[in-house]
């Protein structure tokens, strides 16, 4: 059990953490990549030699040649949209902004169906709130889509659990920038600190949380093995950020919170 400060606030990522919208997300990514030449983004892909690791470099090379994701990546549906764009465009903020805007345009044609990412999430959220914690959502998902999906999942029963809901168009910079997390905390009148936790499934969630100065809980819903986690969080000078703790599921998260609160 890692040594963590007891949480008072827990913010959650949306897609692939709280909910499953994977089919719509990957359809929209496909549509965006099919237009990557017309968008002027093909020449703004991460240059050879600048990727974080060999797997990232292979993804960039495949997209450059085929203007689509590798079929294996599409079949597994384990990597978030934001992480994919980070791999493809690196530090080019303007290119990433354009990619996100194009993704949103295509996502509108595919979104609608949404399900809890795992069974029992609603019960865990209620129990966390019952422990006196303030809960919120902070996601790169456009607010228009997020609001609809909040109304759909469990017939809208989740809304009352969240004291703040911040979508991807609420700030000029999306994750991995910390702006959205800081906005969510400001709406709660809370200062960033170790007692504020951010739970998410992607490396960009980890980077955003650490940049905001709060605790990061990496939700390993994709069941990555330890070797892969070490690869995507290499702790190098270029990529220094690592999660404070990794949880396998929401029951694992609840147990962790209770242990920190001395209620296990």
Per-10-residue mean pLDDT for the chain, 264 residues long? 88 96 93 97 95 94 96 91 95 94 94 92 97 97 93 94 96 94 98 98 96 97 93 91 96 96 83
Phi-psi region of 198 (alpha: psi -120 to 50; beta: other; left: phi over 0): beta
Beta bridge pairs of residue 206: none
CA distance 179 to 58: 30
- Non-local (6+) Cβ contacts of 210 within 8 A are 216, 241
| pLDDT confidence of residue 215 | 98
Q: At what angle do helices 81-89 and 54-66 cross, to 10 degrees?
A: 90
Distances (CA, A) of 9 to 22, 60, 171, 187: 27, 37, 21, 12
Six-digit token string for 112: 């609608």
Closest Cα partner for 176 from 199, 203, 146, 197?
A: 203
Eight-class DSSP state of 60: H
| pLDDT confidence of residue 1 | 54
Eight-class DSSP state of 15: B
| pLDDT confidence of residue 3 | 80
CA distance 255 to 245: 13
Q: How far is CA 136 from the centre of its chain?
A: 14
pTM of the model: 0.91
Closest Cα partner for 97 from 168, 21, 23, 184?
A: 168
């919170």: which residue's tokens? 257
| pLDDT, tens digit, 9 for 90 and up, residues 80-125 | 999 999 999 999 999 999 999 999 999 999 988 899 999 999 999 9
| pLDDT confidence of residue 263 | 80
Q: Do residues 79 and 69 make contact, with C-beta atoms less than 8 angstroms apart? A: no
- Non-local (6+) Cβ contacts of 249 within 8 A are 118, 221
């929401």: which residue's tokens? 250
Q: CB 156: neighbour CB atoms within 10 A? A: 10
Q: How far is CA 37 from the centre of its chain?
A: 26
CA distance 62 to 151: 37
CA distance 149 to 141: 10
| pLDDT confidence of residue 51 | 93
Kind of pairing between the strands at 115-116 and 196-200? unpaired
């Amino acid at each position: 059990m890692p040594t963590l400060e007891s949480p008072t606030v827990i913010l959650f990522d949306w897609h692939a953490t709280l909910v499953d919208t994977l089919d719509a997300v990957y359809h929209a990514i496909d549509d965006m990549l099919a237009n990557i030449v017309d968008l002027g983004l093909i020449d703004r892909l991460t240059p050879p030699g600048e990727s974080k690791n060999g797997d990232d470099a292979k993804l960039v090379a495949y997209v450059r040649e085929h203007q689509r994701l590798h079929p294996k990546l599409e079949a597994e549906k384990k990597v978030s949209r934001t992480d994919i764009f980070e791999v493809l465009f690196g530090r080019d903020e303007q290119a990433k902004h354009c990619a996100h805007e194009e993704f949103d345009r295509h996502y509108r044609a595919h979104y609608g169906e949404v399900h809890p990412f795992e069974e029992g999430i609603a019960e865990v959220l209620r129990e966390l709130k019952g422990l006196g914690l303030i809960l919120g959502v902070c996601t790169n998902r456009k607010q228009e889509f997020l609001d609809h999906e909040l109304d759909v999942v469990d017939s809208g029963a989740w809304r009352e659990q969240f004291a703040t809901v911040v979508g991807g168009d609420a700030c000029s910079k999306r994750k991995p920038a910390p702006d959205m997390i800081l906005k969510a905390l400001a709406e709660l009148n809370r200062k960033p600190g170790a007692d504020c936790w951010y739970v998410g499934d992607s490396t960009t969630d980890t980077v955003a949380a650490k940049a905001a100065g709060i605790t990061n809980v990496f939700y390993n819903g994709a069941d990555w093995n330890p070797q892969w986690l070490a690869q995507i969080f290499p702790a190098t000078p270029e990529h220094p950020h690592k999660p404070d703790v990794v949880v396998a599921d929401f029951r694992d998260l609840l147990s962790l919170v209770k242990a920190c609160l001395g209620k296990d």
